[in-house]
Structure 1
Amino acid sequence: MSDFDLSKKINQAIQDRRETWDFIRSFVSHWVTPLKEADGYSEADLLAAEERLGISLPAALKEAYNLFGRRSDLTRNQEYLLEPTALYLDHGALIFRHENQGAAFWGILVADLQYPDPPVYKCWVIVNNVVENWETWLGRFSLSCIDLILWESLHDSSRATEFCEIDEEELELVDQLYQEVPYPRQLAPWHIRLFTGTDLLLYYTDAGLFVRAHWLNE
């Protein structure tokens, strides 16, 4: 059994980005496999990306890539965190993450690259590659990493995972049976609710309920 108190840790994690990185280290240690030094990209890798793009990368982005950027099991199960060599500028933003079928991408506006921990925006791609306007995703890049790690954890094929569509009555039952984690509004750009049970993580969105068990698939 995991003794990781997700509810307590996530509330600490939103205070500042140092707490965010501590949360990610703890979550990964308890729910996946502990982070190692080799799991991140080097300063040389990130400097090469800056030179190629002709920009300075925000401090928080570099810290995240340095901490867990090479861990595909944490960043590339469902959506795709781009490698430093694949980061690119488009539509007035630095694009760092893609939806798995190319239907959306996440970016930092070029005007915000000056900030250490800038806001993140999401943009949908519709028919014939027509791109919609940027929508606010999360107020800080470091906060988007919390959601990224939790979301990708729910799609780890080495673990016991499940998805189902549920109605309001079934959601009420989930609410009764499991502890809801106080998911801060700034971490919930859409209708997201997070629950935990004994070695279970439950992530509700308007699409349905995603469930992840702590144990490995046999």
Structure 2
Amino acid sequence: MNGYNPATRLKDHTRSMANRNCHRSEVLEVLRLSRLVLEHDRSALQFPHLSLYCDWFVHGAIDRKPLGSKILELVNDAIRKHWENSDGLVTGISRCLSLAELRHEMIIFLITCGAVTDVADSFTNWNVFVSLLLEDLLDRPIRLPAKAKEAEAIVARMLSAWNGYKYKHWPRAIFFLREEREDGSFSFVWNVEMAAPQLTGGDSYNLRGGMQMTESLSAFARG
């Protein structure tokens, strides 16, 4: 009897997807199988962004992953840096969500598994993959850790980064939303839920911006 090897399943699955239009379930199956490989090979630490998105794909929220907390701290830094620059803020927070890092790790991971890399090295394929992924992740947040002491330490670092700014506020969650347009089309946006205990009439507010692809066509092996 052959031993269980999810890498073989991933390899066969990506080969079956090559050079044809694929269904949503087939594309997202790449993440499910990747997660099985990461668990089987205990290689999650080598591919932290892939591991994060694989876990996010199967959970309602992320609050136990160190990288999730790091993303919130990066979001805090982006908000501080671009507080008065809305264009910079939209791009900065889009970068914090690390889709470029996810793609780069996926290519290395798939090559390591002997799998086909079409989903990540083609500009067109990657845009399709990201659209399906974000659709699946709608309204599922990355949020501060459930453990109070861990969350308090992260919030303290965030507040310290503002260098004594008179109002205390910090990102406590980020998630994707779908924004419908009048013409029937839609786009994906990120939504940052900001804790603001000094706010009159509430204790939080939301920042929202269009999710941007942070890599140009030239970064891909093919179109």
Same fold (TM over 0.5): no
TM (normalized to structure 1)?
0.24
TM (normalized to structure 2)?
0.24
Structure ID, larger Rg? 2
Which structure is higher in RCO with an 8 Å CA cutoff and minimum separation 6?
2
As a proportion of its length, which structure holds more helix? 2
